[in-house]
Amino acid sequence: MEQDLHNLKDDMVAFIEGHGLKRFHGPIKDEIPSVPWAPDEEHPDAWKDFVELAKASGVSFVTMSYTSLDSEDVDFLIERLEDLSYMTEEDMEEARWLRSYVGKTGFVQLSWPNSGIMFVYETSTEWHGRYERLSEMAGEFDGLVFDGGESSSDE
């Protein structure tokens, strides 16, 4: 599996524009009614079929979103994870390992609308999945204050 989707993203841009479609930059969130494109491991260029289907459906644009890893994101993640007492050394090593992917594109999403539903194609790298998992772990207790077990009362 590729570890940097930057070239794929560039190929998608060229293919979309070559089909006369416009691109709208923005992600499709989980709250929006959508139908995911079923990935086919044996057909890595299935995204081309997805774009051609968009064109055949009569849409004039597709949405496009992608994520590249910034060093600030990795540093912030590591800092947040270090504050969590239940993190294992293996999880911390995995977070530090993500530094080797700084500047690389790990997630690309294409979508197009039809009858109030978004049809969505997504692809991601293995490291992006790990980054998402660790980010969720770091955010699970965001904003919660835990009692230190000591209490005092005014007498």
Strand order from edge to edge, sheet including 61-68: 22-25, 61-68, 105-114, 117-124, 34-36
Residue 82: pLDDT band with limits 50, 70, 90: confident
**How far apart (Å, rounded) are the C-alpha atoms in residues 131 and 16?**
28
Q: Quote the pLDDT of residue 110.
A: 98
Q: Taking residues 25-42, report their average pLDDT.
A: 90
- Please write the tens of the pLDDT for every residue from 97-149: 999 999 999 999 999 999 999 999 999 999 999 999 999 888 765 544 343 33
Sign of CA dihedral 106, 30, 111, 53: positive
Task: Tell me the backbone φ, ψ of residue 139, rounded to 5 degrees.
Answer: -95, -5
pLDDT band for position 39 (cuts 50, 70, 90): confident
Q: How far apart are CA 153 and CA 151, in angstroms?
A: 7
- Percentage of the chain beyond pLDDT 90 is 71
Whole-model pTM: value is 0.83
